[in-house]
Amino acid sequence: MLYYEDIEVGSRSSFGRYEVTAEEVREFASKYDPQAFHLDADAAAATHFGRISASGWHTCAMTMRMMVDNMKDNAQAGLGSPGVDQLRWKKPVYPGDTLRVETEVIEKRRSKSRREMGIFKSRGTTYNQHGEAVLEMVSNGLIEVRDRDAPIED
């Protein structure tokens, strides 16, 4: 089990494999982002995308799935997240793409108000099969502290 004390700033992880299907792109878009370039081949062809592309929010959801699968494979004392500081969609994601994720811990600190909790910030990048970044984000994670009586550093 990974706790706050086990997290090292600068540590990196690479994980995941997500195959993007046309059916899933259309299904997600029809429910949550029903813009024509996510749903209709002819409409998409007339845009800068050139063909149907996944919603950026769908790319976020696929990335989250790979992150959760990684957390299941590498047990953590995770306590959720207070949010994302930065989010950028760098390139379109298309049906047929295969995605993967790389993360780097960029900072960590103990919570001053909740001794049982630490906070860490990670930079995450999702890549397609060509090694092109399609999504970049900086997110915050909450994680349990193993030694709650350890002094909190400033």
Q: Is residue 149 part of a domain?
A: no
Q: Is residue 12 part of a domain?
A: yes
Please choose, from the candidates 79, 67, 83, the residue with its C-alpha nearest in 3D space to the C-alpha of residue 4.
79
Q: Is residue 150 part of a domain?
A: no
Please choose, from the candidates 36, 140, 19, the residue with its C-alpha nearest in 3D space to the C-alpha of residue 87.
140
Q: Which domain holds residue 88?
A: 4-144
Q: Is residue 16 part of a domain?
A: yes
Q: Is residue 59 part of a domain?
A: yes
Question: Which pLDDT belongs to residue 88?
Answer: 98
137-147 b/e with 16+ CB inside 10 Å = b?
A: bbbebbbbbee
Provide the number of structural domains found in the chain.
1
Q: Is residue 97 part of a domain?
A: yes
Q: Is residue 84 part of a domain?
A: yes
CA dist., res. 70 & res. 92, Å (int): 24
Q: Which residue has the tokens 């992880």?
A: 13
Question: Which pLDDT belongs to residue 9?
Answer: 97
Statement: the pTM of the whole predicted model exceeds 0.85: yes
pLDDT tens over the chain, length 154 residues:
999 999 999 999 999 999 999 999 999 999 999 999 999 999 999 999 999 999 999 999 999 999 999 998 988 899 999 999 999 999 999 999 999 999 999 999 998 888 889 999 999 999 999 999 999 999 999 999 997 777 677 5
Question: Which pLDDT belongs to residue 154?
Answer: 57
Question: Which pLDDT belongs to residue 6?
Answer: 95
Q: Is residue 154 part of a domain?
A: no
The CATH number of whichever domain residue 77 belongs to comes to 3.10.129.10
